[in-house]
Chain A
Amino acid sequence: MAFVTTTDLIPLIPELILLGAAFVVLLLDLFAPGSQRTTLAVTTIVGFVIALVAEIQLLDSGATGFYGTIVADGFSILFESLYLVIGILTVLLSLHYLDDHGIGFGEYYVLLITAVVGMMFMTSSLELLVIFIGLEIMSISSYILVGIRRRVPESNEAALKYLLLGAFSTGFLLYGISLLYGATGSIRIPEIVVALQEPGALNNPLAIIGVALIIIAMGFKVAVVPFHMWTPDVYSGAPTPVTAFLSAAAKAAGFAMFVRVLLTGIPLEAELWKDLFWAIAVLTMTVGNVMALMQNSVKRMLAYSSVAHAGYIMVAVVVGTPAALSSVIFYSCAYAVMGTGAFGILTVRHFGKTPDSYDDLAGYARYKPCLAFLMSVFMLSLIGLPLTGGFIGKLQIFQAALEEGWVWLTVIGLLNSALSVYYYLRVVVCLYMREGSVPDGAVLEVAESPGFALTGLVGAASVVVYLGVFPQTLLELAASSVSTLF
């Protein structure tokens, strides 16, 4: 009796490819110690690219497997491709950073791959068990990645905070799942949905508490207020490429899970949940922006601003229409690319020092004009100026909100994005308007920037501009992938 056939594995092909790549990298690192770190990085990238090709092949296949537990619908393929792209970008940004900081572990790349695999399982599964396992694969890998600079107290501390709070929130998630299981008798989303659509099912306190606990745990993963407290500490303590990866891919994965589990599955049309999300969205935007304003470290500012961006996405979550959900997808993609880019600039050393405070950015226009320009592009996109992906993303969200009559929410969102200009602009001012002095004894690097990183950053900036000028391709993809959810 065959429980599982090879056709069941089809939607898992990208995941399997990546796992293979992870083992190859691990074994390469183990048994060919002479191999250069570049080899490992290139192998990792090759793995990501092959998986990406596989994803694209799966598009329109509608493959499902394991009794419908794993699906390769438009939604999961779009998000999985995003993780892969961010993965590639992260590798490109890591190579020089690892060398600069003496992080000589081949495991770094392995963990990066497994984190992506975890996200992919999270996104493509319809069963809470598999989603939970995917979430944990991602989380455990990222705990280690955050703490991989094990001699650096900040890195250790960030890892500890991430681990303890992450595990804490996992407890809430599991408790929520167990209560939902008790209320509906299933852990498969389609069956849960059916059970909850019965009249009166949502009056069952077990179900309500279960859903609320799941919301809390997911709120932690996407870092919305008041579950955001870990974000700035972890993001600023982690190695910068890892920060970029977390802020982009892990957050996108969180929102994918949010949409999959809460918005298309469990019926949350009731005013109750709308009010809850409304409050969370407003708080998240405001707290994120206000705190970002207070920072002197650019990295920490970007960490808080990622909280604010989660708030904008929450606005779309409040609205909850298909148009709003597709704007969630668009904004996640746009933010992932621009956020990675912005953090990516901070991985490159300037006068022998990895930039951190605003002051460190002075003089970029003269000594690193290319990086200064790229950083400005990312900042303008984060502000949401036209011709960038950030503008289209915000426009989509607020337009969806307006169509449903959420005028006040839109106004608060606009005010917040006006507030964000203060601190993003400060970066540009430092890059262009301030003269950096060369510290005594600092060696001027001959090459402007490491080639791998520059490739990645230029690519990211191009995507940001492309999304601003020709957003229609992604918009259509997002809209069609949302339609597969219903």
Chain B
Amino acid sequence: MIPISHVLVLSALLFSIGVLGVMLRRNVIVVFMSIELMLNAVNLSFVGFARTMDDMTGVIFIFFIIVVAAAEAVVGLSIILSIYRTRKTLNIDEFNLLKW
């Protein structure tokens, strides 16, 4: 059986990659995907704990994370669509009308 530490390390790595993606990528869509990656890293750690403890709670939690992530994705894509319509770009650096 794979020890929990392996799962946690992988999950932490994925989470960090997600965080870095949010900070570094220029395309809004990719930034959004990075956030999804963070959520999936969380899913991984949940499922790891659930298996170690032989407890269903963690798995149920994942269901909800997936659904919420989907809902967020829908809203997110709609917002990205409408900002693309008004600004004609998806470069995140150019969305700086509101500042200071």
Contacts A136-B71, A164-B35, A181-B46 known; A175 to B41 CB distance under 8 Å?
A: yes
Measured between beta carbons, the chain A residues less than 8 angstroms from B18 are 171
The answer to the question of A101 belonging to the interface, with a C-beta cut-off of 8 Å to chain B, is no
For the complex, give the distance between the alpha carbons of A156 and B72 in Å. 16
Chain A's interface size range is 35 or more
For the complex, give the distance between the alpha carbons of A154 and B82 in Å. 12
Instruction: State which of A144, A156, A177, A185 has its C-beta within 8 Å of the C-beta of B87.
Output: A156
Chain B's interface size range is 35 or more
Measured between beta carbons, the chain B residues less than 8 angstroms from A153 are 83, 86-87, 97
Contacts A167-B35, A167-B72 known; A158 to B98 CB distance under 8 Å?
A: yes
Interface centre among A133, A164, A186, A232 (most CB of B within 10 A): A164
B72 & A140 in contact (Cβ 8 Å cutoff): yes
Question: Interface code A152-163, partner B: CB below 8 Å = 1, 0 otherwise?
Answer: 111011111101
**B99: shortest Cβ distance to chain A, in Å?**
7
CB nearest neighbor in A for B68: A136
The B interface, classified by DSSP as helix, strand, loop or mixed, is helix
**A172: shortest Cβ distance to chain B, in Å?**
8
CB nearest neighbor in B for A295: B100
B42 & A156 in contact (Cβ 8 Å cutoff): no
A143 & B79 in contact (Cβ 8 Å cutoff): yes
Question: Interface code B38-76, partner A: CB below 8 Å = 1, 0 otherwise?
Answer: 110110011011001101011011001100100110011
The answer to the question of A178 belonging to the interface, with a C-beta cut-off of 8 Å to chain B, is yes
Contacts A136-B71, A168-B22 known; A174 to B65 CB distance under 8 Å?
A: yes
- Which 10 pairs, one residue from A and one from B, show the smallest C-beta to C-beta distance? A171-B38, A156-B83, A233-B98, A182-B49, A174-B42, A150-B82, A178-B45, A167-B35, A153-B86, A136-B68
Which residues of B pack against A, CB within 8 Å? 4, 8, 15, 18-19, 22, 28, 31-32, 35, 38-39, 41-42, 45-46, 48-49, 52-53, 55, 57-58, 60-61, 64-65, 68, 71-72, 75-76, 78-80, 82-83, 86-87, 95-100
